[in-house]
Structure formats: structure tokens, C-alpha cells
Amino acid sequence: MTQILAFAYAGLTALPILMHLGVAAGAPLGRLTVGGRFPGRLPPAWRALALVQAALLATMAGAVLARAGIGASPLALLFWPALALTLLSLAANAASPSRPERLLWTPVLFLMAAAALGVGLS
């Protein structure tokens, strides 16, 4: 069951990773990130930060997978920080002034948090 939860976390993490990669490439998805501050394309500096966010999310997924015994075991040390960041992201997205951001990412992050908690507590 732990491995299924870890794969669920990783699969769900692919959704915001893809969104951040799209934003970095110039997709007009600003209303779905950074509180909807930029309704269309993000400015160049924010697009660069989207790449950092995508890399961070990939590392977090790797940490959850490692905790479940899948993948690079050194990443397992990052499991609890990854869980903490997932919970903080859940809170931030739930409080976002952007309705589209709240409606899209709050359920995704809730499921990610639940999956990570299941991995951590098993």
C-alpha cells in the first residue's frame, strides 16, 4: 500500500510540474499560480522561478518515492521537508486570492498531502 501511495503522490505531482513547465515556456496560465497576480503570461523572472518550482516538486516526488523504498534512497532524508512543503502549499493554495488556483490546486494538494502522510505513517 505504501508504494501505491507513493506512486499516487508522484503522479499527482506531475500535474503542477507540467503546469510550471508550461508557465516557464510562456503559456498564459498566470491565473493558476502566484495568487493569480499575472492573469496571462508571467514575466521572465517569474517564469524562471517556475522552473525552480518544477525541479523542487520533482525532488519532493523523489523523496516520497524513496521513503516508500522506490528510487534513490538518499532522497528519503528529504521526505519530512517534502511533506511540510506539501502541507504549506496546500494551505497557501487554499487561501489564494485566485479562484481558479484554489479550485484546481487545493484538491490536488490535498490528495498529495494525504498520500504523503500515508507513506510517512506506514
| pLDDT tens per residue, range 70-91 | 988 899 999 999 999 999 999 9
Number of other residues whose CB lies within 10 A of the CB of residue 117? 15
What's the average model confidence in pLDDT over 3-29?
A: 97
What gap in Å lies between CA 31 and CA 68, rounded to an integer? 34
Q: Can you spell out the DSSP letters for 42-110?
A: PPHHHHHHHHHHHHHHHHHHHHHHHHTT-S-GGGGGGHHHHHHHHHHHHHHHHT-S-HHHHHHHHHHHH
Query: What mean pLDDT value characterizes the chain?
Result: 95
Q: Coil, strand, or helix at residue 41? A: coil
What gap in Å lies between CA 116 and CA 7, rounded to an integer? 10
Q: For residue 103, name the pLDDT band (cuts at 50, 70, 90).
A: very high
Lowest pLDDT segment from 15-19, 22-26, 46-50, 73-77: 73-77
What gap in Å lies between CA 79 and CA 10, rounded to an integer? 13
What gap in Å lies between CA 41 and CA 91, rounded to an integer? 24
What's the average model confidence in pLDDT over 35-47?
A: 93
